[in-house]
Amino acid sequence: MNTLYNRNNRACITYASHSAPRLSAARSITAQSGAFARFTYGALLRSISKTTITMAKNFFSKLLFVGSLLLAFTPVKAQTQQSLILATTTSTQDSGLLDVLIPIFEKQSGYFVKTIAVGSGQAMAMGKRGEADVLLVHSPDAEEQFVNEGFGINRRIVMHNDFVIIGPKDDPAKVESAENAVDALTRIARTESLFFSRADESGTHALEKKLWSKASINPTGRWYQQTGLGMGQTLAIAAEKKGYTLTDRGTYLATQKNLNLVIHSQGDPILMNIYHVIEVNPDKFQKINARAAKQFADFCVSESAQNVIAAFGKDKYGSPLFFADAKPKR
């Protein structure tokens, strides 16, 4: 499987390398159809006058010329003006927050948002290549480096929630008794209880590595499993295998009905999970939709969006999945 990214058309195109034989067969069928069409067209031409043929040829030539101009210029221009590429972390997608926020922004702005939900590290890598217009991420140290290197501008706080360490109800590593998050991971490693890491350079993975470092532990062995997947998928695997994992609270609450895992460690200040919106620097890349990026960033910190964030999840879980942090301009 291969993926091509076309920045002019602002889309990701995925194709399978084994499709070549099908393509050849399709071309063969097309060639045969074309031969039959040419035969039929020739028979038709022989049955009408030369004057009619000339008029028909002129008409269709002009029609094809106008059509080709429309196809060549209109769609690309419209796409460039009307679409926005948002690279964001999987937690904003898996929690369902974007399903509420994006339609509101699209209705207000007229832009169509193409959301790419990956780890924060991958989202910033897209920004460094000019493959996204705006980022919504939660990896503070990496974000500061991204901005300091000139790839991002106007970094603004949007919201926060926190990380929690969850695991099976019987808690084989006795994480429930841990003094803090570092102690929790130390107990998991000492008992070699199953732990599932996202291992995807996301904000969640960045914090996990920071916790292992503080515990002076290099996690290796069969007990330490790396999924390379987003938060929702990693939670599903941890539930199936009855292991521990580190997750943001929002995604856990949004998916907990499908999990048989409970929170064992929470409340440590190091587990704070802060989200920022960052516009990709248009001075670095000519094709960045800077106007749309700024409009989306302004929307994220606006009073209306902050009210949506503050209320999101309250009716279903009794408390919001995220806490709004931006201070809208009065």
Q: What angle do CA 124, 181, 136 make, to 5 degrees?
A: 20
Do the beta carbons of residue 86 and residue 134 sit within 8 Å?
yes
- Residue linked to tokens 């890598």: 125
- Per DSSP, the three-state class of 216 is coil
329 assigned to some structural domain = no
Q: What is the CATH number for 173?
A: 3.40.190.10
Q: Are residues 110 and 169 in the same domain?
A: no
Q: What angle do CA 308, 310, 311 make, to 5 degrees?
A: 65
330 assigned to some structural domain = no
- The interaxial angle of helices 303-311 and 290-300, nearest 10 deg, is 50
Do the beta carbons of residue 315 and residue 111 sit within 8 Å?
no
Cβ–Cβ contacts within 10 Å for residue 163, how many? 25
Domain housing 111: 84-160+276-318
pLDDT for res 211 = 97
Q: Are residues 123 and 254 in the same domain?
A: no
pLDDT for res 173 = 98
What are the structure tokens assigned to 125, written together? 């890598």
Indicate if the pLDDT at residue 10 is higher than 50: no
323 assigned to some structural domain = no
pLDDT for res 317 = 85
328 assigned to some structural domain = no
Spatial distance between the Cα atoms of 319 and 326, rounded to a whole number of angstroms: 19
Spatial distance between the Cα atoms of 327 and 133, rounded to a whole number of angstroms: 23
Closest CA to 250 of 181, 184, 316, 175: 316
DSSP state, 111? Answer: P
- Convert the pLDDT of each residue in 143-190 to its tens digit: 999 999 999 999 999 999 999 999 999 999 999 999 999 999 999 999
The model carries a pTM of 0.70
Q: Are residues 156 and 92 in the same domain?
A: yes
Q: Are residues 260 and 171 in the same domain?
A: yes
Structural domain ending residue among the three candidates 41, 65, 80: 80
Q: Are residues 156 and 176 in the same domain?
A: no
Total domains in the fold of the chain: 3
Spatial distance between the Cα atoms of 81 and 78, rounded to a whole number of angstroms: 5
- Per DSSP, the three-state class of 50 is helix
Q: Are residues 229 and 184 in the same domain?
A: yes
pLDDT, averaged across the chain:
81
Q: Are residues 114 and 177 in the same domain?
A: no
- Convert the pLDDT of each residue in 249-298 to its tens digit: 999 998 998 899 999 999 999 999 999 999 999 999 989 999 999 999 99
324 assigned to some structural domain = no
Spatial distance between the Cα atoms of 204 and 209, rounded to a whole number of angstroms: 9
Pair type for strands 244-248 and 152-168: antiparallel
Structural domain ending residue among the three candidates 64, 80, 96: 80
Q: Are residues 180 and 232 in the same domain?
A: yes
pLDDT for res 46 = 39
Average pLDDT over residues 27-52: 40
Q: Are residues 189 and 265 in the same domain?
A: yes
- Residue linked to tokens 């997947």: 229
Structural domain ending residue among the three candidates 271, 294, 309: 271
Q: Are residues 215 and 302 in the same domain?
A: no
Indicate if the pLDDT at residue 327 is higher than 90: no
Q: Are residues 132 and 179 in the same domain?
A: no
How big is the chain, counted in residues? 330
pLDDT for res 6 = 43
- Convert the pLDDT of each residue in 56-75 to its tens digit: 445 545 554 545 444 444 44
Q: Are residues 184 and 265 in the same domain?
A: yes
pLDDT for res 26 = 33
Spatial distance between the Cα atoms of 318 and 299, rounded to a whole number of angstroms: 26
Three state DSSP letters for 85-137? EEEEEHHHHHCCHHHHHHHHHHHHHCCEEEEEEECHHHHHHHHHCCCCCEEEE
Spatial distance between the Cα atoms of 82 and 231, rounded to a whole number of angstroms: 30
